[in-house]
Amino acid sequence: MTSNPGKAPIVIVGAGRSGTKLLRGILVSHPDTVCFPREINYIWRYGNAGYPTDELLLEHARPTVVRYIRNRIASLSLRNGGARVVEKTCANSLRVDFCHRVVPDAFFIHLVRDGRAVAESARRRWQAGPELGYLLEKARWVPPSDVPYYALRYLRHQVGRLRSAERAQSSWGPRFTGLDSLVENLTLIEVCGLQWRACVQAADAALRRLPSSQCITVRYEDLVADPMPVVRELLDRAGLAFVAECGTYVHSQVQGGNLSKWRERLSQEELRLLLPHISSELGVHGYEI
């Protein structure tokens, strides 16, 4: 896409939406960067809209697909004076290899958050009702040829509420192999935990295949507990100088007060169901169980 590392896209991957959104805000506070206002899963899935999961493979990166995605990213940059594009789409956690094929010079940041917190938050999103403004904003990024497909898929997912004991839509967030079967057979909190695990495992495995100069993994808890050293390292690794605007944003927006909210919102029974699915991955990333 570009041979200039200073202009290469920065791709944030991670299963927790609030955490990755915060990190995107920090990076975009830099005057040399710009971002899409919403996740652009529709753009990443161009030409592959009908594929049943978000686990796009290298063979899905056909020339027409690569050209379309690169053009959309480049167009955003050009409209903003050549600014470096920061992109955050949670589903990219499941297809880092594909993303790397599309934008081979991109710098990847994997933001990991405690799976218990992510599962609890995700469950609320599965159960949340439609938000018209949010839907209309996201619809701006749907390739015109894919509009009918996504409209019908959205309706199917909403209809799923009618037969859900937990009043949840039939699918939300990153789609991985076997998700629909899990929705039919497990509680929603278990599904959300397995969704987190699938994203973390896939991202970890793919990032190990990339040059260390093109990726970094950071824990959300470390970011909010002591943000300035983490932010300085992230900017340095991504090839961005630390500037006052970033420091101001961090001081005003980064707060660690809700790190343990999941303890209040998850019952002991829910934790009993959830932990067997995610305890191994929690341990890998240094979380106490």
**How do residues 29-48 score in pLDDT, each as one tens digit?**
999 999 998 899 999 999 99
Residue 224 included in any domain = yes
- Say if residue 10's pLDDT is above 50: yes
Residue 137 is assigned to a structural domain of this protein = yes
Nearest residue to 7 via CA among 85, 75, 110, 76: 85
Instruction: Give the distance from CA 42 to its chain's centroid.
Output: 13
Is the pLDDT at 164 greater than 60, yes or no? yes
Residue 1 in any domain: the answer is no
Q: What is the pTM of this model?
A: 0.91
Per DSSP, the chain holds a count of helices (H) and strands (E) of: 14, 5
Q: Which residue shows structure tokens 């909010």? A: 224
Q: Residue 140 and residue 193: Cα distance in Å, rounded?
A: 30
Tell me how far apart the alpha carbons of residues 140 and 135 are, in angstroms, rounded to a whole number: 9
pLDDT value of position 3: 44
Q: Residues 83, 29, 211, 114: what is their CA dihedral angle, to the nearest 10 degrees?
A: -150
CATH number for the domain harbouring residue 43: 3.40.50.300
Q: Phi and psi of 111, rounded to 5°? A: -100, 115
For position 4, what pLDDT does the model report? 55
| Mean pLDDT computed over 67-81 | 97
Residue 228 falls within a domain, yes or no? yes
3 belongs to a structural domain? no
- Token duo for residue 258: 């809700």
Tell me how far apart the alpha carbons of residues 286 and 289 are, in angstroms, rounded to a whole number: 9
Of 287, 281, 172, 220, residue with least CA distance to 12: 220
Section 191-219 average pLDDT = 98
Number of domains in the chain: 1
Residue 130 above 80 pLDDT? no
Residue 6 has pLDDT above 70, yes or no: no
Closest CA to 169 of 137, 136, 123, 116: 123
Mean pLDDT in residue range 57-75: 98
Angle at 218 between CA 106 and CA 286, to 5 degrees: 145
Query: What percent of the chain is predicted at pLDDT more than 70?
Result: 93
Tell me if 234 sits within 8 A of 216, measured CB to CB. Answer: yes
Task: Determine, yes or no, domain membership for 233.
Answer: yes
C-alpha span between 119 and 188 (Å, rounded) = 9
- The Cβ of residue 177 has, within 10 Å, a number of other Cβ atoms equal to 12
Q: Which two tokens stand for residue 140?
A: 């701006």
CA distance 193 to 197: 6
Residue 18 inside a domain? The answer is yes
Q: Domain of 137?
A: 8-284
Q: What is the mean pLDDT of the chain?
A: 92
Does 289 fall in a domain? Answer: no
pLDDT band for position 135 (cuts 50, 70, 90): low
Of 18-22, 53-57, 157-161, 192-196, least confident by mean pLDDT is: 157-161
For residue range 238-268, what is the model confidence (pLDDT) as tens digits? 999 999 999 999 999 998 777 889 999 999 9
**8 Å CB contact between 156 and 242:** no
pLDDT higher at 108 or 153? 108
pLDDT higher at 272 or 16:
272
Integer Cα distance of 61 and 48 in angstroms: 9
Q: Which range, of 132-141, 181-190, 279-288, averages the lowest pLDDT?
A: 132-141
Strand partners, 35: 86
